[in-house]
Amino acid sequence: MATAFDTVKDYTEAEYKYGFVTPVEEDRFPPGLNEEVVRRLSAKKEEPAWLTEWRLAALRRFLSMEVPDWQKVRFAPIDFQAISYYAAPRQKERPKSLDEIDPEIRRTYDKLGIPIREQEILAGVAVDYVFDSVSVATTFKRKLEQLGVIFCSMSEAVREHPELVRKYLGSVVPPGDNFFAALNSAVFSDGSFVYVPKGVRCPMELSTYFRINAAGTGQFERTLIIADEGSYVSYLEGCTAPMRDENQLHAAVVELVALDDAEIKYSTVQNWYPGDKEGRGGIYNFVTKRGACRGKRSKISWTQVETGSAITWKYPSCILQGDDSVGEFYSVAVTNHRQQADTGTKMIHIGKRTRSRIVSKGISAGRSDNTYRGLVRILKSAEGARNHTQCDSMLIGDRCGAHTVPYIEVQNKTARCEHEATTSKISEDQLFYCRQRGISEEDAVALIVNGFCREVMNELPMEFAVEARKLLGISLEGSVG
Amino acid sequence: MLTIENLQVSVEGKPILKGLSLTVEAGRVHAIMGPNGSGKSTLAHVLAGREGYEVTGGNVRFGDEDLLALEPEERAHAGLFLAMQYPVEIPGVANMYFLRQAINAICKARGQDEIPAAEFMRKVREQARLLGIGEELLKRDLNAGFSGGEKKRNEILQMALLEPRLCILDETDSGLDIDALRTVADGVNRLRSPERAFLVITHYQRLLDYIVPDVVHIMADGRIQRTGGPELARELEERGYEGLLGTKLAA
Ligand SMILES: Nc1ncnc2c1ncn2[C@@H]1O[C@H](COP(=O)(O)OP(=O)(O)OP(=O)(O)O)[C@@H](O)[C@H]1O
Ligand SMILES: [Mg+2]
């Protein structure tokens, strides 16, 4: 009998709609990585000596490390000497107001649907715009300053708030943590910095939009968010890149610190260029994200919707150090065509009565491969710790793969871990039912997949949930025929 | 409105419909009765465009269109609705959300504006009340954990809101308690109009006491064997398929 999936198409009709290039003059370093490059980068950013030394130490670590190979993704060796480690749109000095921004750059963000404006669409969201290696604008800074909330680019934070940066940078992800974290520590160019003072509930979403524009470069941004005692902040990052045949590297590091009774909600909608249907080009998204629940009753919640990139390889993690602290990980990872994703989380329970919750939804289509890899480690000290993990996979077609690799290590007898996993397919009955009601096949797939992911989508800030829902549909276009 | 000529359909090489002909006029209610396995659901599915059926002969016209050339969603846009014998569950998709998506998809295909949220809510509430569907059921995931009767009522709710020209009901009465049967039949009767036609597949005379058909067909062995008025259904009730059609066709 003919099934809906007999003719699974391995191409997508929809072009990646963020795949354009902005014609700006860029200041860039020639390709190559050595101490001289790191010194020049640090000098360019007018960094203090301690940071230059910090970078150089990281570089030495990096040069002594090997590319890890334990993950279930395959890629050709990366030539780290062929990458340019700094590219920035040429500007005499950083624009003092939003009005001074290069019109080309302004147009870029208009086209991406996130105009650099403090009004209308994104009225409830402050945005830091990162274009290749530098932050080009940050909205609502004044408004946030009145509350004592610091939201600026990392370069600016190094200049304006060196004591905070020095205290926390690398305190969650040390420079030698892993291969790509070491690389990032040596060459990170920009990124966002957030500090929310004691007792302040940040009244708006903070957001960074990462855009890779230049060819032959990578993006190595560094984000640091500190929520002081009793504070709350919700932060969201989004990302896109032009369509190119080459693979580009995105190796970011994100560090979160939550002190007593503080809460950080970190959401990602990742839509880097995934490569073409044959797997040519696309971003290698190798990212280290980790949050430390240092304080008692603190909470860190990661929500990610991963639809882009040729390879996604990241494990947003929580170190649950404070007693009664809570870590959450909500993830949707969609792979189509030749995309590969190996993603999940680590929950490290140290404090008493620490709790963690993991909800992972993997959707694979085309010839893609989608792996959930998660570690729950409960140390001896974590009396009464709890974890609940739920991993659901959905397969579209029969040429893709879904894998679940849970690691559970429990060293305290009073702890309790629960793990549930399911695998399902979109049934022909479901597709027919939707189509009989007038919904096109592609919209039906999007509808069913969104239903499958609802628990996670509900965690996204409202302003972004609608976009993310559409994105799921778009990434799966052409997955059934 | 619907003209089926000599329709022949196989499933996995096995002939199921063996030259079925049937004409349905606007404003009329046709009932189709027939023994288990005679091909009633197959007919309904082929008309709605479900995959897995091979049409080996014949043709179907719906209005002035070649129905079999259309995709399932295009048939829905053209005004064909199938209330299914086994409505499927879609986890994570709220009943009301699904309804809204369906209505908007049809509006869009017809070049109309989407239905405003307030008007949609008003219509849904009104129809749900008439069909005895509670607010809670509208918010739940589509058909997930619905009882048999709730699923069937929900099919009629969708039908009422999508305002089709041709409504095919495949055993909508099975699994309904006596009160629900009334409610569902009332729902169908409210939709009767000179522009709309119904094809009601059922095993029981009881439904036809409430939805009084204009025409009754007896189907067996992949063909319409007898056609008559409402009295044919009553005759069937008394004599059974064997008495009506003989031993060979009743099997
Ligand atoms: N997908 C299928 N694969 C194999 N055989 C099928 C399939 N669908 C239908 N058939 C066969 O076609 C014949 C007609 O089935 P159909 O469901 O149309 O009958 P029906 O008249 O609706 O019966 P009922 O009154 O029990 O609902 C049956 O013999 C059935 O087994
Ligand atoms: Mg049937």
Whether pLDDT at B135 is above 70? yes
Name the residue type at position A106: R
**Tokens 């919700």, residue located:** A234
DSSP H helices, A29-117, are 35-44, 49-63, 103-111
Q: What percent helix, strand, coil does chain B show, rounded to 5?
A: 45, 30, 30
Backbone angles phi, psi at A348, to 5 degrees: -105, 110
Give the chain A residue nearest B109 (alpha carbons). Answer: A438
Burial of B175 (0-12, 13-18, 19+ CB in 10 A): middle
Query: How many whole angstroms from B41 Cα to the centroid of ligand 2?
Result: 4
Q: What is the pLDDT of residue A119?
A: 56
Ligand lying nearest the CA atom of residue B45: 1
Q: Around Cβ B119, how many Cβ atoms within 10 Å?
A: 9
Query: How many whole angstroms from B42 Cα to the centroid of ligand 1?
Result: 6
- Which ligand 1 atom sits closest to the C-alpha of B171? 27
Interface membership of B73 toward A (CB under 8 Å): yes
Q: What is the pLDDT of residue B16?
A: 97
Q: What is the pLDDT of residue A162?
A: 95
- The whole-number average pLDDT for the span B213-234 is 94
Tokens of A374: 């998660």
Our answer on whether the CB atom of B202 is closer than 6 Å to any ligand 1 atom is: no
Ligand lying nearest the CA atom of residue B251: 1
Distance CA B102, CA A95 (A): 48
Q: What is the pTM of this model?
A: 0.85
Are B92 and A443 a contacting pair at CB < 8 A? no
Counting every residue written for chain B, the total comes to: 251
Distance CA B74, CA A340 (A): 35
Ligand lying nearest the CA atom of residue B53: 1
Which residues of A are less than 8 Å from B84 in CB distance? 433, 436
Q: What is the pLDDT of residue A3?
A: 28
Are A436 and B52 a contacting pair at CB < 8 A? no
Give the chain A residue nearest B161 (alpha carbons). Answer: A437
Whether pLDDT at B224 is above 60? yes
Our answer on whether the CB atom of B52 is closer than 6 Å to any ligand 1 atom is: yes
Q: How much is the mean pLDDT over chain B?
A: 94
Are A438 and B92 a contacting pair at CB < 8 A? no
Interface membership of B111 toward A (CB under 8 Å): no
| Minimum-distance CB partner of A438 among B52, B87, B105 | B105
Residue nearest to atom 26 of ligand 1 (CA): B36
Residue nearest to atom 25 of ligand 1 (CA): B36
Our answer on whether the CB atom of B86 is closer than 6 Å to any ligand 1 atom is: no
Residues A362-397: pLDDT tens digits?
A: 998 888 889 899 999 999 999 999 999 999 999 988
Q: What is the pLDDT of residue A122?
A: 56
ipTM of the complex: 0.96
Residues B232-244: pLDDT tens digits?
A: 999 998 998 888 8
Our answer on whether the CB atom of B16 is closer than 6 Å to any ligand 1 atom is: yes
| Minimum-distance CB partner of A440 among B82, B86, B105 | B105
Give the chain A residue nearest B99 (alpha carbons). Answer: A437
Residue B115 DSSP symbol: P
Distance from CA of B232 to the nearest CA of A (A): 31
Residues in chain A with pLDDT values less than 70: 1-16, 91-95, 118-124, 133-134, 214-215, 239-245, 480-481
Residue nearest to atom 13 of ligand 1 (CA): B37
Name the residue type at position A90: R
Our answer on whether the CB atom of B41 is closer than 6 Å to any ligand 1 atom is: yes
Backbone angles phi, psi at A217, to 5 degrees: -120, 175
Q: What is the pLDDT of residue A82?
A: 87
Lowest mean pLDDT among A114-128, A289-303, B14-28, B174-188: A114-128
Phi-psi region of A98 (alpha: psi -120 to 50; beta: other; left: phi over 0): alpha
Distance CA A434, CA A440 (A): 8
Lowest mean pLDDT among A390-394, B4-8, B125-129, B247-251: B247-251
Cα A285 off chain centre by: 8
Burial of A462 (0-12, 13-18, 19+ CB in 10 A): exposed
**Tokens 């694979």, residue located:** A364
> Percentage of residues in chain B with pLDDT exceeding 70?
99
Would you tell me which residues 22-61 of chain B have a C-beta closer than 8 angstroms to some C-beta of chain A?
48-52
Tokens of A425: 């397919």
Which residues of A are less than 8 Å from B91 in CB distance? 451-452
Backbone angles phi, psi at A31, to 5 degrees: -60, 155
Q: What is the pLDDT of residue A209?
A: 80
Burial A280-294 (b: 16+ CB within 10 A, else e): ebbbbbbbbbbbbbb
Interface probe with A: pick from B84, B88, B95, B167, most Cβ of A within 10 Å? B88
Interface membership of B101 toward A (CB under 8 Å): yes
Q: What is the pLDDT of residue A7?
A: 25
Residue A99 DSSP symbol: G
- Which ligand 1 atom sits closest to the C-alpha of B42? 18
Q: How confident is the model at residue B137 (pLDDT cuts 50, 70, 90)?
A: very high
